[in-house]
Amino acid sequence: MAQHGKELHGEHGAQTGGHGSLKEYVTGFVLSIILTIIPLLIVLNHWMEGKAAVAVLLGTAVLQFVLQLVFFMHLREEHGPRYNLMTLLLGLVVVITIVIGSIWIMTNNGM
């Protein structure tokens, strides 16, 4: 019985032990720094204005979000049922609903 517990624990440790190498973390960190500096430079140096600047800012924000999920939260390494992905999607639906609903209420409140 004790041997069975060791084997089970050993298998679990082997599955979760390979979460990322130093190279992956450094790559993710460098890319996240680049994706942070790009919008900062665009805004501070007035390289773009209006809708173009907003599009670049939103684009880099989405890329930063995906980068964080892939490199630091290891979303791509999940085996079996994707519970983390489903939880993330549910959270995004809730947040988007709250934000859009709040904007709608603020817009239509003056009527």
CA distances from 3 to 10, 15, 17, 72 (A): 10, 19, 20, 34
CA 38 to chain centre: 18
Q: Tokens for 21?
A: 């190498």
The structure's pTM equals: 0.64
Each residue's pLDDT, cut to its tens digit, for the chain (111 residues) gives 555 544 444 444 444 455 678 898 999 999 999 999 999 999 999 999 999 999 999 999 999 988 988 888 877 776 766 777 888 889 899 999 999 999 999 999 865
